[in-house]
Structure 1
Amino acid sequence: MTDATPTPTPTATPDRPAPLPAQSPPVDPAATAKAPAAEGAGRLSWWRGDNGEGARRNLGLIAVLVVLILIGIATRPDLYGDSSWVWSNILTILKLASVVGVVTVGMTVVIIGGGIDLSVGAIVALAGVWCTTVATQSYGAGGMIFSALTVGVAVGLVNGLLISYGRLVPFIATLAMMVAARGLAAEISDKQTQVSNNTTINGIASTDVLGIPLLVYILAAVVVAGWVLLNRTTFGRRTVAVGGNPEAARLAGINVRRHTVLLYALSGLCCGIAAIMLTAQATSAQAAMANLYELDAIAAAIIGGTLLSGGRGTIVGSLLGVVIFSTITNLFAINGLSTEAQNMVKGGIIVAAVLVQQFKFRSLTQFLGRNRLTTG
C-alpha cells in the first residue's frame, strides 16, 4: 500500500508570480439594500404578469359598474335616494341579465375553444316553441323542461358535427343554423304566439327564495358549473388547448373533433335552459323570441376578456360583461333615453374592448421602462 502523495503547492518563479488566495466577490451595499424590494416585487409578479391579467380586467369591469352607478345617482338622485327602490332595481338588473347570462356561459366556452355560435338566439326560440306545443305541455313541467334541453343539445350537436366532421367554418355553419332554426320554429308555431299554461314553468319567473328571484339562482348555478368545468377539470384545460393551438392539441393526443362537438352541445344545453327561463318570464313562446341574443352574448364575452381567436377567457369576466350591459339598459330606461342611443353606446363599448385586447397597457409600460433605461 502506498501513501497518498500530497499535491505540491505552486511556488513563485521569476517568470510566474505566486497565485493570489481565493477571494469572495465584493458585496455591493446598494444591491443589498435593494434585495427586500426585489423580494416584494416577486410577490406581486402574479399580479403584474399574464397570470394576473384576468384579475386586473375584472377589477376594471367592476370599476366600470361603479361609474355607471355613479352616473345613475347623478342623473336620478330621487330614485337612488330610496333604499327600497335601489334593492328592487338591483334585482331587476339581475333578472334582466339572467337569461342572456346563461347563454353567454355557453358562448364563452365555445369562443375559448376557438369557435363561435351565431345560432344561440334561434336555438332558444326553437327550444321555447317546441316545449310550449300542446303535445309537449300535456306531459307537464318535466316534459317541457326535457324537450327544451333535448332540442338545445340536439341542435348544438348538429352544429358541432357540421364544423368538426363537415369541415365548415363555424361562422357559416352557425349562421345557416340560425336561419334554419328560426324557420323551423316559425313552422312549428304557425307564426303564432304559443301560450304556456303550466303553472310550474310560469312560476319560475315569479318565485323568490330569500327575497332573491329564482332566475338569479339559476344563473348563479350555471355560472358556477361553467367556472368549475373550465378551471377545475380536464375538459376545461383541453378547451383552452384546442382554442389556443388546435394542431398542437391534436399532437398532444386530444381528439379535437370530438371535443369541438361537445363544446357546441354544451352551448345548446345552455340555450335550452335559457329557453325555459325566457318562456317562464313571458308565459309564452314564439319564433321571434331571443332576437339578437347571439350578439349580446358575444359582446358580453368580449367585454369580459375572451379572445375571439380562442385560447383565453373567463366565465366571471363574461358575467360581469352581461351585468354591465344590463346596467346600461336599466340606466337608459330610468332616464327615458331611446334604444337607438343605447345601442350606439353598446357598440362603442365593444369597439373599446377589442382595442384594449389589441393594445396592451403593459406594452406601454415596457416601452416607457426601456426609455428610462436608455436615458439612465
Structure 2
Amino acid sequence: MTERTETAAPAAAAPPADRPTPVSPAPAGAPAHKGAGAPGNGNGRWSGDAGESFRRNLGLVGVLVVLIIIGIITRPDLYGDMNWVGDNIMSILTLASVVGVVTVGMTFVIIGGGIDLSVGAIVALAGVWSTTVATQSYGAGGMIFTAIVVAVCVGLVNGFLISYGRLVPFIATLAMLVAARGLAAEISDKQTQVSNNATINGIASNDILGIPVLVYILAGVVAAGWVLLNRTTFGRRTVAVGGNPEAARLAGINVRRHSMLLYALSGLCCGIAAIMLTAQANSAQAAMANLYELDAIAAAIIGGTLLSGGRGTIVGSLLGVIIFATITNLFAINGLSTEAQNMVKGGIIVAAVLVQQFRFKSLTQLLARNKLSSTN
C-alpha cells in the first residue's frame, strides 16, 4: 500500500524521509485479516482464503478415509469387529492427545512467523519438576500448577530472547532444547520419577461416557485455540505479525510483545501436555517427549500452516496430528517396523510442503488470471 501511494503521488508531495507513510484503514465491513478462516473476496466456500482452508481440511479428511480403507483391506479380521473399531478409534485419539495439545501451541508460533524446537524439552522439564517429592507433597493442584508455571516461564524466556534479544527463533529454541533437557536431567538426577498421585494418574486411566479424559482435554485445548485464533484480536494480530511484521508494527501492534506472548502460549500447551504425559506413564523423566517438536511441526505443516507464517488453522493441525496417529496405529496392527513408519511420515511431510507451494502460488495465480479474463 505504501509503494502504491508513493508511486501515484507527485514527487513534490512525497512525505519527508523521516516520517513514515500513513497506512490507510481498511474499508468498513472488510475482513480484519485473511488466512485464519476469514472470508476471501466474497467468492464463497470453494474459493478465496476461507475456501482454501475448507478444501485443505476436506483433503485431509480424504486422507484419513484412505488410511481407514487401507486398514480394512490389510486387516479385515480386526475391522470386522465393531467393538474393536470403537476401541481403536479411542486409542488413536488418545495417542494423538498429548502431541495434539503441543501442536496447538506450535501452530500459533508458526503462524506468528516463529518456530519452537524446544517444546519436547519443555514438556520433559515441566513433567520432571512437577513430579519431585517436594512438589507432589502439595497434591494434584500443586503438580498441575508447577508444570504450567514452569512451562510458561520457559516459553517467556524463549520469547524474550527472540523478541528483545534479537536471536533467530531456530537458534534460541535450539539452545533452550539443550538447556531444558540438561536441567531436567539435573533435577531428576537422571532417574525416572514416579508419580504417586492417584488424581494425576487417573487422568489417563479414567473416561467419561466411554471417552478418555485425555481426549476431552485435547478437545478443550483445540476449541480454545480455535476461538483464540479466529474470534479474538489476539488471533488477528498473530496472523498480521506472521504475514508482515513491519506492516503490523505500522498498524500499531507491539510486534515484540506479541511474539513473546506466542511463545508463552506454546509453553502453556507444553505444561498441559506434561501433566497428560505424566499421567500416561505414571512417571516423568528427562528423556520424555523426545522429538515431540518434530511431530508438532510436521502436524502443523500437514494441516496447512505455512512455515513462512501468516496462515494456518487449528482444525487443520488437529487433522494432521490424527493422520500421523492413524499411520502409527496402522503400522502397529500390521506389525510393520518403526523405521518404515518414519520414512512414510517423511514422505508425507515433503508432499505436504510441495502441495502448499502449488496451492498458495501456482493455483492462486491461476485463479487470479481466470478472474481477470472473465471481467474483461
Q: Deviations over 1:128-169 (max 9, x none)?
A: 000000000000000000000000000000000000000000
Q: Deviations over 1:259-288 (max 9, x none)?
A: 011100000000000000000000000000
Partners in 1 of 2:220 and 2:247 — Cα distance?
33
Partner of 2:175: 176
Where do residues 1-376 of structure 1 align in structure 2 (5 Å cutoff)? 45-360=44-359, 363=362
How far residue 358 of structure 1 moved from its aligned partner, in angstroms, is 1.0
Partners in 2 of 1:110 and 1:211 — Cα distance?
34
Residue 364 to residue 152, structure 1, CA distance change in 2 (3 Å)? closer
Partner of 2:7: none
Residue 314 to residue 365, structure 1, CA distance change in 2 (3 Å)? closer
Partners in 1 of 2:361 and 2:60 — Cα distance?
18
Partners in 2 of 1:125 and 1:365 — Cα distance?
42
- Normalising by structure 1, report the TM-score: 0.85
How far residue 43 of structure 1 moved from its aligned partner, in angstroms, is 8.2
Q: Which runs of 5+ in 1 are unaligned?
A: 1-41
SS of the aligned residue for 1:47 comes to coil
Q: Deviations over 1:71-105 (max 9, x none)?
A: 00000000000000000000000000000000000
- Normalising by structure 2, report the TM-score: 0.85
Conserved? CA contact 2:299–2:317, under 8 Å:
yes
Conserved? CA contact 2:45–2:54, under 8 Å:
no
The AA in structure 2 aligned to 1:87 is G
Partners in 2 of 1:367 and 1:232 — Cα distance?
31
How far residue 357 of structure 1 moved from its aligned partner, in angstroms, is 1.0
The AA in structure 1 aligned to 2:362 is S
The AA in structure 2 aligned to 1:323 is I
Conserved? CA contact 2:127–2:284, under 8 Å:
yes
The AA in structure 1 aligned to 2:216 is Y
Residue 226 to residue 212, structure 1, CA distance change in 2 (3 Å)? same
SS of the aligned residue for 2:304 comes to coil
Q: Deviations over 1:159-187 (max 9, x none)?
A: 00000000000000000000000000000
Q: Deviations over 1:324-345 (max 9, x none)?
A: 0000000000000000000000
Identity level (%): 86
Conserved? CA contact 2:42–2:48, under 8 Å:
no
Partners in 1 of 2:135 and 2:266 — Cα distance?
23
The AA in structure 2 aligned to 1:99 is V
Partners in 2 of 1:162 and 1:349 — Cα distance?
33
How far residue 198 of structure 1 moved from its aligned partner, in angstroms, is 0.3
Q: Structure 1 residue runs of 4+, over 6 Å off?
A: none
Partners in 2 of 1:193 and 1:281 — Cα distance?
14
Partners in 1 of 2:144 and 2:216 — Cα distance?
17
What value does the CA root-mean-square deviation take over the aligned residues?
Answer: 1.6
Partners in 2 of 1:362 and 1:54 — Cα distance?
15
Partners in 1 of 2:280 and 2:364 — Cα distance?
48
Partners in 2 of 1:74 and 1:305 — Cα distance?
29
Residue 298 to residue 130, structure 1, CA distance change in 2 (3 Å)? same
Partners in 1 of 2:190 and 2:182 — Cα distance?
10
Q: Deviations over 1:290-343 (max 9, x none)?
A: 000000000000000000000000000000000000000000000000000000
Partners in 2 of 1:364 and 1:292 — Cα distance?
34
How far residue 362 of structure 1 moved from its aligned partner, in angstroms, is 8.3
Partners in 1 of 2:185 and 2:343 — Cα distance?
30
How far residue 48 of structure 1 moved from its aligned partner, in angstroms, is 2.0
The AA in structure 2 aligned to 1:341 is A
Aligned pair count reads 330
SS of the aligned residue for 2:335 comes to coil
Which structure's CA Rg is the greater one?
Answer: 1
